[in-house]
Amino acid sequence: MTNLESRPREHVCVAGPAVPVELIPPRDVPLGGPRAMTVRRTLPSRQRSFIGAFCFADHYGPDDIAETGGMDVAPHPHTGLQTVTWLFEGEVLHLDALGSVQAIRPGQLNLMTAGRGICHSEEGTLVRFPAQRRLHGVQLWTALPDATRNGERAFEHVADVPAFDVDGARVQVFMGTLGGVTSPARADTPLVAAQLDLPAGATVRLAVDPAFEHGVLLDTGSLTVAGTALEPAWLAYLAPGCAEVVLAAGAEPVRAVLIGGTPFEEQIVMWWNFIGRTHDEVAEARAHWQAAIAGDPDGVARFGHVTGYEGPPLPAPELPNVQLRPR
């Protein structure tokens, strides 16, 4: 996806306060240009920018796409990150500059590695999927470390992610390792992402890596995380040092997403769809994208071109009239 806030802010990842469970509220953000859909964003937030290498978390739906139009995000660029697409309901078609044409359904993973630059589009509409009624899921970004952030672009689709059961809950591991199973998806830093499905009234003791910090994003139901109540669409943060996360479902079944990883030690500048290390890197990426839209060979060489999307690409917003720098 792409961030089209009218006054997008630059974010530099820093550690937040150390508390047993830190609650991060969502904020509504329009996404996707002229056909914008509304998502609920918890990362980055005022109090926390990172959980492991995860620097971006959007939660959307369930949307009746006959009413909302669904997801229609025109071709847009990325640098220095991975996009992680995970659905609860519906289908989304991914097109990218590598020539990838890949529909994703619940229980599957689409993972795109931007490296120095890539562009892609995402569509979950009645035009693409006439039988589709609802769209519901999450999109996450991971920041690439300095060693790989300027590498080659890549895309992978995992059609069947590994899963295990614990205390009556089903855990689908779509990135990293958890519960003795490992996703085949690429990870450039130690991290984990999994869907958690708890039956009503269940208490689940989930063994986790104590070197990781973790976040639990609640989708449906009522849930307590380490004894702290979590509202739907909110994110609960747990600092490193926990070897076990205790989750307790209320009177209804629960669906949540667990993310985590070792604390990301590198400072990053994140603006619009670009992750860099300096203002100049971000400004250069923006200039190259605008050049790519105009057909300039250097811009196209960096970001490529999406074939198969009906409509123009998204232009980058204007840079702020200040130097992008750590806050």
Residue 192 belongs to a domain: yes
CATH of the domain at 242: 2.60.120.10
Residue 180 belongs to a domain: yes
Residue 272 belongs to a domain: no
- Number of domains into which the chain is organized: 1
Which tens digit of pLDDT belongs to each residue from 298-323? 999 999 999 999 999 999 999 998 98
Residue 317 belongs to a domain: no
Which tens digit of pLDDT belongs to each residue from 168-214? 999 999 999 999 999 999 999 999 999 999 999 999 999 999 999 99
Which tens digit of pLDDT belongs to each residue from 235-267? 999 999 999 999 999 999 999 999 999 999 999
Which pLDDT does position 14 carry in this prediction? 42
Residue 224 belongs to a domain: yes
Structural domain harbouring 164: 26-261
User: Checking phi first, is residue 321 left (phi over 0); if not, alpha (psi -120 to 50) or beta?
Assistant: alpha
> pTM to 2 decimals?
0.92
Residue 105 belongs to a domain: yes
Residue 280 belongs to a domain: no
Which pLDDT does position 5 carry in this prediction? 52
Residue 307 belongs to a domain: no
